[in-house]
Copies of this chain bind each other. A is one copy, B any other.
Amino acid sequence: MTPVSGSEHQQTPVSGSEHQQTPASGSAQVPGRTGVTAATGFAAAGVTAGLKPSGNPDLAVVANLGPEQHAAAVFTTNRVEAAPVTWSRGVVADGVVSAVVLNSGGANACTGPRGLTDATTMAASTADALGVEAGDVVVCSTGLIGTYLPMERVTAGIAACVPALSTDGGAAAARAIMTTDTRPKEASRVVEGPSGSWTVGGMAKGAGMLAPGLATMLVVLTTDARATPDVLRGALAEACRLTFDRADSDGCMSTNDTVLLMASGASGVEVDAAELVPGLTAVCAELAAGLIDDAEGAAHTIAVTVRSAASEDEAVEVARAVARSNLFKCAVFGRDPNWGRVLAAVGTTTAAFEPSALDVAFNGVQVCRSGAIGEDRSLVDLSGRDVVVEINLHAGPAQATVWTNDLTHDYVTENSEYST
């Protein structure tokens, strides 16, 4: 069970008939060109700048080779935003982005004026090496909050990275942005539209969501479709709403979350938002699924689906309340289909429902019927990775799914030892 697979596949806007219009990746792709370099008009690279104690790659650049350099982005809504977010908001405001430079090994968050200077320096160094404007370079950082970046290493890393840019460098870039991720996340789709074929791809790091997010989530999406900045903004907002915004690993919101979409226009195929959304959403859904499946310390991937809600917003509210209940998340870790904790979480919401009408199923077994005891809980098997919790509010026609993780000993370990 992931946000785009299995039985849930039929229930999300990224699936079903719309999905059929978005052929799976592979058929028209060039071998080796994956993730952010699946689409034409992009080059990427990842290098080791020495920012991580592990010595793993930690700096990446993705450049838009054109002919167009349109872009849109979504940033964290955390009011305590990191310096690179502050910088990058300004960069994308005019809808033109030439490149993005990303580092792991340090978030450059809560670093005051010096942090903003450092983010600016990262953009300027990248721009110099590429021969573009600093004001067209987005900066993304991830890692510990409250420490300064070692700027000599960062600028040396940029100087090494830009010459390494390659149209099949997507995989290297995806690896360089990992922090506690155990594997890089890439996805792409080739879309056969009425006016021709185009590609959308992307990479992601960090298990989390836009608002809120666990570890920082950084996502870079690329397409060779031709699209105006307004089209990109609208399509990105819709794709995020249905994917990253519904993946909620631990309810915490990062200071650095960024989702950047760049369009090169290299396919020559112009698209509007309606054409762009399905393929873009499919890529975002695959990346979001990868984040939840690889979330820090998680033992289960949990889909909380709320059915028969009065509105989609209320379905999301209820699903999110359950997804954020520590008691519920501990129960799933313990393979306990504790529907009482589900109902206790549902009861904290303002959604329309009658408590005596609520139904809850764990992996298809309806353990709660009409707000009371249903089928025998011993029939539920939670030994696998994937858990589907279905809640029926009997209050209307809407539904939504939020993806989350269980609360485990490994989560506590990873997050109590992370910075010490």
Q: Which of A156-164, A245-253, A270-278 contacts B (4 or more CB under 8 A)?
A: A245-253
Mark out the residues of chain A between 324 and 346 whose CB falls within 8 Å of any chain B CB in the assembled complex. Answer: 324-327, 330-331, 333-336, 338-341, 343-346
Name the CB-closest residue of B to A407.
B412
Contact string, A345-358, partner B, CB cutoff 8 A, digits 1/0? Answer: 11111000101101
Q: Are A415 and B252 in contact (CB under 8 A)?
A: no
Asked if A341 and B111 sit within 8 Å, CB to CB, the answer is no
Q: A112 with B373: in contact, given A326-B250, A330-B415, A338-B419 (CB under 8 Å)?
A: yes
A195, CB-defined interface residue at 8 Å: no
Cβ proximity bits A194-230 to B, threshold 8 Å, 1 near / 0 not: 0000000000000000001010000000000000000
Q: Whole-angstrom distance between the alpha carbons of A327 and B341 in the complex? A: 22
8 Å CB interface, A237-287 against B: 250-255
Chain B residues, CB < 8 A from A339: 110, 146
Task: Check if A344 sits within 8 Å of B416, measured CB to CB.
Answer: no
Identical chains in the assembly: 2
Q: A334 and B416 in contact (CB under 8 A), knowing A81-B355, A251-B326, A355-B81?
A: yes
Q: Which residues of B contact A144 (CB under 8 A)?
A: 340
| Complex Cα gap A252–B344 (Å) | 8
A347 touches B111 (CB 8 A): no
Name A415's contact: one of B111, B331, B340, B411 (CB within 8 Å).
Answer: B331
Residue of B nearest to A212 (CB): B348
Q: Is A147 an interface residue (CB 8 A)?
A: yes
With a CB–CB cut-off of 8 A, which chain B residues contact A336? Answer: 416-420
The docked-state distance in angstroms from the alpha carbon of A336 to that of B356 is 45
| Residue A141 is within 8 A (CB to CB) of chain B in the complex | no
Return the chain B residue nearest A406 by Cβ: B416
Interface flag for A145 (CB, 8 Å): yes
User: Is A80 at the interface (CB under 8 A from chain B)?
Assistant: yes
Contact of A408 among B343, B368, B412, B419 (CB under 8 A): B412
Q: Which of A79, A146, A324, A417 has the most CB of B within 10 A?
A: A146
CB of A371 closer than 8 Å to a CB of B = yes
> A344: which of B114, B253, B331, B420 is its contact (CB, 8 Å)?
B253
Q: Please tell me if A184 contacts chain B, counting CB pairs below 8 Å.
A: no
Chain B residue nearest in CB terms to A344 = B255
Which one of B77, B115, B347, B407 contacts A81 once the chains associate, using CB atoms below 8 Å? B347
Any B CB within 8 A of the CB of A39 = no
The reply on A409 being an interface residue by CB < 8 A is yes
CA distance A331 to B147 in the complex (A): 16
List chain B residues, Cβ under 8 A from A409. 409, 412-413
Enumerate chain B residues within 8 angstroms of A413, measured Cβ to Cβ: 409
Residues of chain B within 8 A (CB-CB) of A418 are 331, 334, 336
Contact A344 B80 (CB under 8 A): yes
B252–A333 touching, CB < 8 Å: no
Q: Can you give 26 contacting A-B residue pairs, CB < 8 Å?
A: A79-B355, A80-B344, A80-B347, A80-B371, A107-B340, A109-B344, A110-B368, A112-B373, A114-B372, A115-B372, A145-B338, A145-B343, A146-B338, A146-B368, A146-B372, A252-B326, A253-B344, A254-B344, A326-B326, A327-B415, A331-B415, A334-B418, A336-B416, A336-B420, A338-B419, A408-B412
Task: Kindly list 14 other residue pairs between chains A and B, CB separation below 8 angstroms, not including A79-B353, A109-B340, A112-B370.
Answer: A78-B344, A80-B358, A109-B343, A112-B373, A146-B339, A146-B373, A212-B348, A255-B340, A330-B416, A331-B415, A333-B412, A409-B409, A409-B412, A409-B413
